[in-house]
Structure 1
Amino acid sequence: MTSNGDDDAHSPGTPLDEALAWFARLQDSEASAAERKAFHSWRAAKPENAEVYARVEKLWNSPALSEALAKFPAAIPPAATRNRRRTPGRWAAAASVLLLASWMLAASGLIDRWRADYTTVAGEQRRIALADGSIVILNTDSALALDFNDDRRGVRLLAGEAYFEVRPDSARPFVVNTDNATVRVVGTQFAVRAGEKTSVAVDSGIVACGNEKGAGVQLTAGQRVSISKETVTSPETIDSGSTFAWLKGRLIFKDRPLADVLDELDRYHPGLIVIANAKLGNTRVTGNYKLDDTAAVVRALADIAGARVTTVSPYLTVVR
């Protein structure tokens, strides 16, 4: 994706990211004929491009989205005015559309939150004492449902990440389920992160985990695996200091692409962080930052990478 002026925008990479970027750009009444021609070329290049763009349009126009967004009138333009031609600058238009797009993508997550017993919002962490004496520390933007009775100790991590300090009970193993994995322990400390793949990292003790196809592995302290419905990776050694740094309110990384670091930081940020330059995203960075001021971290990382930060609104930060 190309742009005029000093935006130097490049599409982030995945078809969904590209579709959102194009959708945002085309809402601006100042979008040029050349940009619209480039969009049609992008949409025709791959069947998946057309498919994902149609999905974004459908969600944008759905009544369900309007109802969900009605809770945020100060941040989001009314549904009745979405399709009118607007005069604000293109970054202002992108702010509104990208914010709405984020809620479109989070629609299924809202269902998870309705099912959950405990939730956190972006930037929040919560310490939960369970009935058996175990402790759960629920990380940012997460949802957890309980499955406890006299015979069973279980939880379901519906979204996000949690750290478990499990009280030993050999008669009742502690079980954590996600959409694609099952983690079983007697008494130990470990973290589970849900998503398209489930990540399990062990801080102490022994953890057994696997998927619904029966593939499984046993982990010990300082190891991590990634689990999907199809596969379970071999255990890899982790740097416990950086892996569990979030428990101390920090983000630690070494020689990682800026895009990956900002993607991780975005989990703790109350709005969207967007890189508008693909080359910039490949810049390698190292750092150790507090998570209590994510906007300051973005600015610090931008300084290291020689980038600029544009704060379009409290809900959209662009690094370029």
Structure 2
Amino acid sequence: MTFNGDDDPKPPGTPQADALAWFARLRDSETGAAEREAFAAWRAAKPEHAEAYARVEKLWNSPALSKALARFPAAVPPVVVRTPWRKPRRWAAAASVLLLVGWLAAASGLIDRWRADYTTVAGEQRRIALADGSTVILNTDSALALDFNDDRRGVRLLAGEAYFEVRSDSARPFVVSTGNTTVRVVGTRFSVRTGETTSVAVDSGIVACTNGQGAGVRVTAGQRVSISQKTVTPPEQTDAERAFAWLKGRLIFKDRSLADVLDELDRYHPGIIVMANGKLGDSRVTGNYKLDDTAAVVRALADITGARVITVSPYLTVVR
């Protein structure tokens, strides 16, 4: 999650991530008029911004969140600021809201997880042997539901990312469904990552991808495609070593912004990582790190870019 400091009130990221960051910031009693005007401009800039913020408000006020918090009270512990820093009262309050907002984002996927046949938590990966001899490797913080019968081989990726090794069966194509995409194959190896868009990367073979409006594309080995409800990007070449590095427990990136890398790393981290300096978040970084100690990776990236790491609690790390 990216949450900018006083010098840059506009939080960059996906519309949903931006909405979460703005939601936390606007609940800070010291938020000024300039920041509120920046928020109003962001919300009015695109319809999807207003829609994303409305979803956050609706979920925040929903009975489902209250029930989730009551069921898992340990998920939102008291905030203890361990390191002195500028405006401690303000940031302690913001940290409390960010913890709740982070749990809000997690709670939004609880229904899918209850419906899933297989799930993983942050930092966990799981290998699943399917009845047809195919294999699924479920990545961090993911949920998968099976849809198998005598005539159909299918799964629904409800959240997160998975790598599929599909056994060939021409009579029964293997189908992976997400909220906006259908991926159909006979026998191949590929990964699917779902979210606001669905990303498909092919390791070997060919897959056919279709979005909710019927637009389709064929993706071959070494290619990646991004699909939404309304759009399908042309297939582009991808670096297989980086695309499938997570299968070996690594995160590999080349000339990416620090904010993007921290957002990716946050998927594997047991708490929330907040980028609190927009300008520093634009710093370009390259690296190859093991994912078994995400806190150490954050510290290493901070050393490279001259950032400061503040551990607010075991559940919240701020980089600024």
Q: TM-score, normalised by structure 1?
A: 0.86
After TM superposition, the structure 1 = structure 2 runs for residues 22-171 of structure 1, keeping only pairs within 5 Å, are 23-25=23-25, 27=27, 31-32=29-30, 35-45=31-41, 48=44, 56=56, 59-76=59-76, 89-171=89-171
Determine the structure 2 residue equivalent to 1:246: 246
| 2:269 counterpart SS class | coil
Secondary structure of the equivalent of 2:37? helix
Q: Which amino acid aligns with 1:103?
A: W
Per-residue deviation at 1:71?
3.2
Q: What are the superposed Cα offsets for residues 140-175 of structure 1, whole Å, 9 maximum, x if unpaired?
A: 111111010111101111111000001111111111
How many residues are paired up? 304
Residue equivalent to 1:313: 313
Q: Is the 8 A contact 1:191 1:201 kept in 2?
A: yes
Q: Per-residue displacement from partner, 1:266-298 (whole Å, max 9, x unpaired)?
A: 111111111111111110000000001101001
Give, in angstroms, the shift of residue 91 of structure 1. Answer: 2.7
Q: Which amino acid aligns with 1:270?
A: P
**Alpha carbons of structure 1 residues 170 and 24: separation in structure 2 relative to 1, 3 Å:** closer
Distance 2:142 2:132 in 1: 22
Asked which structure has the greater CA Rg, the reply is 1
> How far apart in 1 are the matches of 2:184 and 2:50?
42
Q: Specify the alignment match of 1:12 in structure 2.
A: 11
Distance in 2 (CA, whole Å) between partners of 1:69 and 1:233 is: 39
Gap change, CA 1:174 and 1:280, over 3 Å in 2: same
Q: Name the CA shift for 1:62/1:235 in 2 (closer, same or farther; >3 Å).
A: closer
* Contact 1:12–1:277 (8 Å) recurs in 2: no
Whole-angstrom distance in 2 between the partners of 1:133 and 1:298? 39
Letter of the 1:73 counterpart: P
What is the letter of the counterpart of residue 228 of structure 1? S
- AA in 2 matched with 1:12: P
Which amino acid in structure 1 is aligned with residue 233 of structure 2?
T
What SS does structure 2 have at the residue aligned with 1:70? Answer: helix
- Does residue 1:188 correspond to 2:188, yes or no? yes
Shift in CA distance, 234/129, structure 1 to aligned 2, threshold 3 Å: same
Distance in 2, Cα, partners of 1:150 & 1:44: 53
Structure 2 residue matching 1:89: 3-state secondary structure: helix
How do 1:137-286 and structure 2 match up within 5 A? 137-286=137-286
| CA-CA distance at 1:213 after TM superposition | 2.4
Deviation at 1:245, TM superposition (A): 0.3
Secondary structure, aligned partner of 1:218: strand
TM-score, structure 2 normalization: 0.86
Show the counterpart of 1:83.
Answer: none
Q: Can you give the 5+ residue segments of structure 2 that lack an aligned partner in the other structure? A: 79-87
For residues 27-61 of structure 1, the C-alpha deviation after alignment (integer angstroms, 9 at most, x for no partner) is 55xx44xx343344345546548886676555444
135 and 311 in structure 1: CA distance in 2 versus 1, 3 angstrom threshold: same
Q: Distance in 2 between matches of 1:52 and 1:235?
A: 28
CA distances 1:51-99 after superposition (whole Å, capped 9, x unpaired): 8667655544444322211234345369xxxxxxxxx733322222111
Mapped to 2, the partners of 1:57 and 1:27 lie a distance apart of 12
2: CA distance, partners of 1:248 / 1:230 = 33
